[in-house]
Amino acid sequence: MQDYRFSELFEAQKKHFQNHIKSSRPDARIVKLKKIRTWITTHVQDIRDAIYEDFRKPSVEVDLTDIRPVLMEIEHALAHIRSWMAPRYVSTPLLFFGTRSKVVYEPKGVCLILAPWNFPFMLSVGPLISAIAAGNCCILKPSEMTPQTSRLIARMIAELFDPNEVCVVEGDHVAAEALLKLPFHHIFFTGSPAIGKKVMHAAAEHLSSVTLELGGKNPVIVDETADIEDTVSKLLWGKFMNGGQSCMAPNYVYVHHTIYTAFCEALVAMYARMFGAANEPSPDVASLVSDRHYERIASLIRTTVAQGAKVLAGNHSDAARRYVAPTVLGNVTTDHAVMQDEIFGPILPLLEYTHRDEVIAYINTQERPLNLYIFSTDMTKADAIIAQTTAGSTCINETTLNFAHPDLPFGGVNTSGIGKAHGYYGFLAFSNERGILKQRRGLTTMKLVYPPYTERVKKIVKLVMKYL
């Protein structure tokens, strides 16, 4: 689709929004959400098949991390949309005597959703649920790196919506760049910080509001009180789910020196139970999405091992399948290649620490992460770590589960993201909170201080400054 067609599409949605969508009531939005829910529940196998074709993601993970979160998002919106849309009345200070004020939640308008490839269904349709719940029109661009899923989403939207309300644009970065030239009322982007900066720069041309769901190096701290067996199982799941291709995945693990050896032994034993022999491709691990990503991950392992890291598990690969076995590296230091950037693949580096302060100091020298994970049975210590660090979200004795919690905001801080998503927070992201003050006709206390500024007015202002 040429640039001028994008412009025509945007203008058509803008007109449709103003004439038909802007004042939509809860019932109308509920009908749309239910239509999406019905389509998903009747096409579960199609979704599984599409994502498997794109990067061999196991069907269990598709169900748990692509389909179920979207259905939960819909159910949560259906249960709360009326209360979210209801005006919120605010109190009236004495200075505003005679007024009545409220906040109303109106849709922003025509929104652009730029979705990534790693959770291609969830991170396309999830933000769309929030946008529809808030009453917007949308153009959705899925990732070209997962073409089967992209086509399936385009089919779903074409079957359910008038393109003047919601439509899908397929294409590569050229299409995305063309879309970003348009004056969208809100842009929701999920991807890397580097591309997020480009999106924000483009949005600045039109002062479009943005939600940027980015990523970063998510730290894990395992202190001396942690339940080792519980910790290793949760870490292996959180890290290697989706083949490690997740912005929420643990990026590196600091383990207290008093339990480091026992921790490594337990982790290797749990690894064998979860993924089997390291030299055989596991059917329970997704492939990497492209040859370029495969080469990057394979090279990162080779370089880090050459620098002195020890392979504790994994390190088998199959270029034809773009498969890299979940790989655990011990004896890692902060100078190693694997510690320089977000991994976004199936590598789990382990570092040993003695004093908590050294770990906190390192974390605070890095860009602020999307998630921070703490494993400890001492909540005083866990709370101390939280107090001394900053992250978009934090899990104690768990990994990644916060993403699916319908009542928690999800999003990063600075380079790991701007704005929040999911549930009520997603509704707010796509809404304009419009303050409305209503004054009784002819009545206002401000008339007491209108010009001319006589001595009487000055005395009144003095009283206001002192008492109000």
**How many whole angstroms separate alpha carbon 331 and alpha carbon 300?**
15
Judge contact between 349 and 339, C-beta under 8 A.
Answer: yes
Q: In the annotation, is 264 catalytic?
A: no
Q: Is 352 a catalytic residue?
A: no
Pairing of strands 327-330, 323-324: unpaired
Half-sphere exposure for 183 (CA within 13 Å, toward CB): 5
Give the angle 166-78-15 at the CA atoms, nearest 5°. 25
Alpha carbons 170 and 151: distance in angstroms, whole number:
8
221-222-226-229 Cα dihedral, nearest 10 degrees:
120
**Bridge partner residues of 438 (DSSP):** 100
Is residue 148 helix, strand or coil?
helix
* Pairwise CA distance, residues 280 & 302, whole Å: 19
Query: 244: left (phi > 0), else alpha (psi -120 to 50), else beta?
Result: left
Q: Quote the strand ranges of 56-164, DSSP E.
A: 88-90, 99-107, 110-114, 137-141
Residue 394 and residue 372 in contact, taking contact as beta carbons nearer than 8 Å: yes
Q: Residue with structure tokens 């382990």? A: 350
**Dmax over Cα atoms in the chain, in whole Å?**
90
Of the listed 111, 167, 247, 264, which one is catalytic?
Answer: 247
Tokens 């202190």 appear where? 223
Query: Which residues are within 8 A (CB) of 299 and not within 5 positions of it... i.e. 6 or more apart?
Result: none
354: left (phi over 0), alpha (psi -120 to 50) or beta: alpha
Burial zone of 135 (CB within 10 Å; 0-12 exposed, 13-18 middle, 19+ buried)? buried
* Angle between helices 122-133 and 26-42 in degrees, nearest 10: 160
Which helix (H) or strand (E) segment holds residue 199: the answer is helix 193-206
Q: How is the beta sheet containing 347-353 ordered, strand by strand?
A: 310-313, 327-330, 347-353, 250-256, 218-222, 371-375, 393-396
CB 118 within 8 A of CB 289: yes
What order of strands is seen across the sheet that includes strand 88-90?
88-90, 99-107, 431-439
Q: Which residues pair with 353 in a beta bridge?
A: 256
- Catalytic member of 61, 73, 213, 352: 213
Residues annotated as catalytic are 213, 247
